[in-house]
C-alpha cells in the first residue's frame, strides 16, 4: 500500500511541476494542424478509392 501512495504522490508531483503544458494558443494551433492533416489524408484516401473503383468497374465490364 505504501508503494502505491508513493507512486501516486510522485505522479502528481511530476504532472504539476515537471510537465510543460501547452498554452491555449499552442493547443489551438496543434488542433488546427491535426484537423487539416486529417482532411488532406481523407481526401487522398477518397481519391484512391474512387480511382480503384473505376479500375475495377472497367476490368469487370470487359470480362
30 near 22, Cβ under 8 Å? yes
Torsion of CA 49, 53, 59, 62, to 10 degrees: -160
Grid look-up 487539416 returns 36
Nearest alpha-carbon partner for 9 in 17, 43, 32: 17
Q: What is the pLDDT along the chain (63 residues), one digit of tens a residue?
A: 999 999 999 999 999 999 999 999 999 999 999 999 999 999 999 999 999 999 999 999 988
Task: Give SS3 for 23.
Answer: coil
Q: What is the DSSP string of 23-54?
A: PHHHHHHHHHHHHHHHHHHHHHHHHHHHHHHH
Amino acid at each position: 500500500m505504501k508503494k502505491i501512495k508513493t507512486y501516486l504522490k510522485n505522479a502528481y508531483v511530476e504532472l504539476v511541476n515537471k510537465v510543460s503544458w501547452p498554452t491555449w494558443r499552442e493547443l489551438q494551433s496543434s488542433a488546427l494542424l491535426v484537423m487539416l492533416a486529417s482532411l488532406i489524408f481523407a481526401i487522398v484516401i477518397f481519391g484512391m478509392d474512387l480511382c480503384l473503383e473505376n479500375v475495377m468497374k472497367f476490368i469487370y465490364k470487359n470480362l
